[in-house]
Structure 1
Amino acid sequence: MSNSHLIILGLLLLFAIAHSGLAALRPKGEKILGPRLYRIGFALVSLPLAVILIIYFFNHRYDGVQLWQLQGVPAVQPIVWILSAISFFFLYPATFNLLEIAAVAKPEVHLYETGIVRICRHPQMVGQVIWCIAHTLWIGSSFTLVTSLGLVLHHLFGVWHGDRRLGARYGEAFEAVKARTSIVPFLAIAQGRQTLEWKEFIRPAYLGVTGFIALLWWAHPLLLRATASVPW
């Protein structure tokens, strides 16, 4: 493995420690700083690390060994775009309260059992796995494979960590939600433990994600050129 492989793993580990660590410290931190100030501190730590990760990934995505090359296969590009679009529908509607994210409204911990959570209790993990499959398929380098494995491992840890924090906060109420939902997409529905309510998907958050996907598709070349100008 080249140095870039080790660097991206180090950056992923740093982000995971910061992100999951601050999430674990949230109850104590909010008592000391208050929910809004703690949310701002969380963002000031997490967002710069995420930006660094994105830039470094874009600039080194073809490093290492080219494991496969499918970019010339006609069907691959639309498959990659479709999978990427689906991944964002799992990644971002998991958090609907944008005002809380920005600390405009008081940040709260919510116990959801609606919308995308009926399909999967941890949609961000599923979205990240789909995104990693799509981009690893398209790029085919050992660097992208290593990055994807690191991201997936972090989100699998997040599944355990998230369930643990919700269980500690909500107790039996969370156990009841856990019994009616599944980590594997659609499993609880197939087993009859959950039902889909399609009207729950008619909300501004999903329209916003659709617009974001369209914007990202248009701006993707610009984003690649912008990150290429950073000498990392």
Structure 2
Amino acid sequence: MVATHHSSLVMLVLLVLFAVVHSGGAALRSRAEEVIGARAWRVVFASASIPSAVVVIGWFLAHRYDGLRLWNLQGVPGVIPLMWIGTAVSFLFLYPATYNLLEIPAVLKPQVRLYATGIIRISRHPQAVGQILWCFTHAVWIGSSFMVVTCIGLIGHHLFAVWHGDRRLRVRFGAAFEDLKANTSIVPFLAVIDGRQKLDWREFLRPAQLGICIAVGVFWWAHRYIPTAAQAMRNSALEGLLG
């Protein structure tokens, strides 16, 4: 454990830059696509967002136990399955099967759509729900002040994205979005509980969901390499620059 909060401050800066790239790119999307086209903009956006995400992840892995150890629950019975189950569920929200898989690499022309089925019936902003759940499980497991700061940054960005996402959809779709908003909820299952939505399990049987399940398995397997990745980050030139 490193008794310094410098790495936490760096993490906040990296998360702010990450948020600027992602939310800024989302805000620019309509205008940029008019100028260079949807596929070209997807490439430009990915060229900025993927490296920024890699830096954030690398810094997190290298410094996740920095600062003060606020709690240590790793030996408590039930914590390990709680973390793995919670994390697996978080990925179902973080990467919902509402995307056309071929649009992600721009094989098909990327488009903005309104979705009202599947996981959107549970929450209109599933990625925010998934991020909060991921932060909870990892904060319980790691218990460091660095992790708490990371969670504050990630959750703060996603709460902003909730407002920003609704604003962009309202501008693009107008009354159609207002109808969607009236029949969905941000809080998970609230629209189901109050009768505005009914879940249909068949809507969750999509290829993207299978891909997410496979990804969860791959991430579980890859966790054994976290120490190696963390050490590589600590030995990198970027560590020297930021540290």
Q: CA deviation at 1:94?
A: 4.8
For residues 93-132 of structure 1, the aligned pairs below 5 Å read 93-132=96-135
Q: Which residue among 172, 177, 185 is the counterpart of 1:174?
A: 177
**1: CA distance between counterparts of 2:122 and 2:212?**
17
Asked if the contact 2:71/2:144 (under 8 Å) is kept, the reply is: yes
Counterpart of 2:73 in structure 1 is 70
Q: Which region of structure 1 is more displaced relative to structure 2, 157-166 or 190-199?
A: 190-199
For residues 7-26 of structure 1, the aligned pairs below 5 Å read 7-26=10-29
Q: CA deviation at 1:13?
A: 0.4
Please state whether the residue corresponding to 2:229 is helix, strand or coil: helix
**2: CA distance between counterparts of 1:224 and 1:112?**
39
Counterpart of 1:30 in structure 2 is 33
Paired residue type of 1:43 = A
Q: CA deviation at 1:226?
A: 2.3
**1: CA distance between counterparts of 2:219 and 2:28?**
33
Q: Deviations over 1:118-153 (max 9, x none)?
A: 000000000000000000000000000000011000
Q: CA deviation at 1:223?
A: 3.7
Counterpart of 2:232 in structure 1 is 229
Asked if the contact 1:94/1:117 (under 8 Å) is kept, the reply is: no
Paired residue type of 2:178 = E
Asked if the contact 1:66/1:140 (under 8 Å) is kept, the reply is: yes
Paired residue type of 2:44 = G
**1: CA distance between counterparts of 2:176 and 2:43?**
29
Please state whether the residue corresponding to 2:121 is helix, strand or coil: helix
Counterpart of 1:218 in structure 2 is 221
Paired residue type of 2:122 = I
**2: CA distance between counterparts of 1:181 and 1:166?**
14
Please state whether the residue corresponding to 1:19 is helix, strand or coil: helix
Residue 163 (structure 1) aligned with residue 166 (structure 2): yes
**2: CA distance between counterparts of 1:158 and 1:57?**
21
Q: Deviations over 1:180-205 (max 9, x none)?
A: 00000000011111111111011111
Q: Which residue among 46, 58, 61 is the counterpart of 2:64?
A: 61
TM-score computed with the length of structure 1 as normaliser: 0.98
Equivalent pairs counted in the alignment come to 232
**1: CA distance between counterparts of 2:227 and 2:122?**
33
Residue 144 (structure 1) aligned with residue 147 (structure 2): yes
Q: Deviations over 1:23-63 (max 9, x none)?
A: 00111100111000001000000000000000000100000
Asked if the contact 1:94/1:124 (under 8 Å) is kept, the reply is: no
| Structure 2 stretches lacking a partner, 5+ long | none
**1: CA distance between counterparts of 2:214 and 2:72?**
31
TM-score computed with the length of structure 2 as normaliser: 0.93
Please state whether the residue corresponding to 1:229 is helix, strand or coil: helix
Counterpart of 2:192 in structure 1 is 189
**1: CA distance between counterparts of 2:81 and 2:185?**
29
Q: Which residue among 6, 9, 23 is the counterpart of 1:6?
A: 9
Aligned alpha-carbon RMSD (Å): 1.0
Q: Which residue among 86, 90, 101 is the counterpart of 1:87?
A: 90
Q: Which region of structure 1 is more displaced relative to structure 2, 149-158 or 200-209?
A: 200-209
Q: Deviations over 1:143-191 (max 9, x none)?
A: 0000001100000000000000000000000000000000000000111
Please state whether the residue corresponding to 2:108 is helix, strand or coil: coil
Q: Give the share of equivalent positions with the same residue, in percent.
A: 57
Residue 198 (structure 1) aligned with residue 204 (structure 2): no
Asked if the contact 2:39/2:110 (under 8 Å) is kept, the reply is: yes
**1: CA distance between counterparts of 2:77 and 2:146?**
24
